[in-house]
Structure 1
Amino acid sequence: MSSTPQEDRLVALLRQHGVDGQPVYGLAAWSAFKAYGREVFGPQSIGLLFQVGTYDFTGSPLFHFDPVCQFEITDADGEHDHFEQLHCELTCSPDAALSGMEASLWSFDYPTADAFFAAVEALPAFQASVERSDYTLSVSHETV
């Protein structure tokens, strides 16, 4: 499977922030995502999303710490065609500390990337999940 330029840039930033292999420290991955988010933040066609929660997508529940960058793709006339999302998804087995933790926050209501990041970092769900060092990382770019 070939990667996109967006995936390649995020992976390069992850490496610069000490994320190279598994398991992954949540704060290191978040720092890399913040660097990426600062690079792309600005156009109304790009949104940043922070989402966490326990979900059963594969037959067994996993806790997901998933910062996302969403890109609006337009057609030749400049009209909306579709969205693409770049995920920096961290997963781990849920435990008592993560039980019931769920949050979702978009950047569209914030004037700067740093204002959005500050709002995310103030969330109890962020605080409870960012310090973990047992995450598995998956970087993916998908059409939604």
Structure 2
Amino acid sequence: MTRRPSVDEAVGLLEGELGPRAFADPVPEDVWFAFLRFGHQLFHVPDTPDADGLLFQYGTYAFDGPAMFALDLTRQFEVSDSDGDHDHYVQVHCELRYGLTPALEALGSFRSWFFHDAGADLEEWARVLTEQAVWTTIRELKPAEIRVYQERV
């Protein structure tokens, strides 16, 4: 039986999929495909519905300064307590942030979830998202920043 990595290993595994080039000169499509490779990896999570999910979202936000457009690729894991009951979620984010342009603002906001246990096909989910207009818009833009981080929610 193959050992599944723990949630504590998720950031390192995502950073490994991204590679150093993504942090020096991020290419949005390359970041997306690295995130999908990360999304294919199965982790040790509770055997409960929606314990392991992927989130594709974008929009204009003012997180910790001026408003920026963010493409946020997130993996969410459920964490249980010692009795096996839900305790909290851990989210591992890969964010591409852009300075605002009229074209980015015109995209508005969008989000789509995928859960490994929901019977949906990850490749089909990814294919539909790859056809989103956001890719055409950001293809010609250089991200101002890429951030990979983990948070408890």
Residue in 2 that maps onto 1:39: 41
Residues 65-106 of structure 1, C-alpha deviations (whole Å, 9 max, x = no match) = 001000000112221110000001110101122123211000
Structure 2 Cα separation of the partners of residues 59 and 122 of structure 1: 30
User: Contact (CA 8 Å) 1:33, 1:67: kept in 2 or not?
Assistant: yes
Alignment length, in residue pairs? Answer: 138
Residue in 2 that maps onto 1:55: 61
Residue in 2 that maps onto 1:19: 22
- CA spacing shift, 1:132–1:77, aligned 2, 3 Å: farther
Structure 2 Cα separation of the partners of residues 52 and 68 of structure 1: 11
Q: Structure 1 or 2: larger helix share?
A: 2
Structure 1 spans left out of the alignment, 5+ residues: none
SS in 1 for 2:35: helix
Structure 2 Cα separation of the partners of residues 133 and 76 of structure 1: 46
SS in 1 for 2:73: strand
Following TM superposition, where does structure 1 have runs of at least 4 consecutive aligned residues deviating by more than 2 angstroms? 40-44, 122-129
Task: With the length of structure 1 as denominator, give the TM-score of the two structures.
Answer: 0.84
| Larger Cα-atom Rg | 2
- CA spacing shift, 1:7–1:100, aligned 2, 3 Å: same
Moved more, 100-109 or 72-81: 100-109
Code of the residue aligned with 1:76 in structure 2: it is S
Residues 86-129 of structure 1, C-alpha deviations (whole Å, 9 max, x = no match) = 00111010112212321100013661221221222233334433
Code of the residue aligned with 1:79 in structure 2: it is D
Give the structure, 1 or 2, with the largest relative contact order (CA under 8 Å, sep 6 or more): 1
Structure 2 Cα separation of the partners of residues 77 and 6 of structure 1: 23
Q: 1:112 aligns with which of 111, 121, 124?
A: 121
Structure 1 Cα separation of the partners of residues 125 and 73 of structure 2: 12
